[in-house]
Amino acid sequence: MTDCANLTLPPDISHTSADIDIRAAEQTWIRIPRKTDAAAIHRLISECPPLDLNSVYTYLLLCEHFPRTCIVAGRGGTLDGFISAYLPPQRPGTLFVWQVAVHERARGKGLARRLLSELLQRPGLDAVQYIETTVGPENAASRGVFTGLARQLDAHVHEEPCFQPELFGAESHEDEPLLRIGPFGAA
């Protein structure tokens, strides 16, 4: 993983401090989320419809309790991507991906799939053989990310009903079928 503070430039090129600042701002960094990221994650999600926006407190909990299965990415001081995921206790070997958010300014560059791949390479997640997520039938972008990841992992995608609209009560919500990718080996 690359952290913004550890960016280096090739030694054979001479740069002014302004050049270094510009190059560092252009570099994408990826890291484990921190509690201090929660408000920025909340803002990112709010700028990525149709994702469900949860409270800042939810994102604080994800950063505090699940940093090993969540990931953030950005450029300079701007957050461009976030994935929240967890290991369901009753399904060993499965990583459940809850939310994938990539800001519009960072789309079309493979960031979501890169973040998912980085997650699968983390220590402690080497036993993961399946990824599960729920994706609405109309969300072509997310479906594309997960089918692309399945191809990359040489794994199958199985879809089955999971959360039907009536389960959301009075809240209007589309169907959320479960996508299960796997089995696969280490990414």
Question: Do the Cβ atoms of 57 and 5 come closer than 8 Å?
Answer: no
Domain assignment of residue 83, yes or no: yes
Residue 154 burial class via C-beta count within 10 angstroms: exposed 0-12, middle 13-18, buried 19 and up: exposed
pLDDT tens-digit profile, the chain (187 residues): 333 333 222 333 333 444 344 445 578 999 999 999 999 999 999 999 888 899 999 999 999 999 999 999 999 999 999 999 999 999 989 999 999 999 999 999 999 999 999 999 999 898 999 999 998 888 888 899 999 999 999 999 998 876 666 666 677 667 788 999 999 975 4
Q: What's residue 2's pLDDT?
A: 35
Query: Which of 1, 103, 87, 88 has the alpha carbon at shortest distance from 46?
Result: 103
Which domain CATH number covers 53? 3.40.630.30
Domain assignment of residue 65, yes or no: yes
Q: What's residue 16's pLDDT?
A: 42
Name the pTM for this structure. 0.80
How many independent structural domains does the chain possess? Answer: 1
Domain assignment of residue 20, yes or no: no
* Tokens at 96, concatenated: 């459940």
Helix (H, G, I), strand (E, B) or coil at 143: helix
- Note if the bond before 177 is cis, omega within 30 degrees: no
Domain span at residue 66? 28-181
Helix (H, G, I), strand (E, B) or coil at 183: coil
The whole-angstrom separation of Cα 88 and Cα 94 is 7
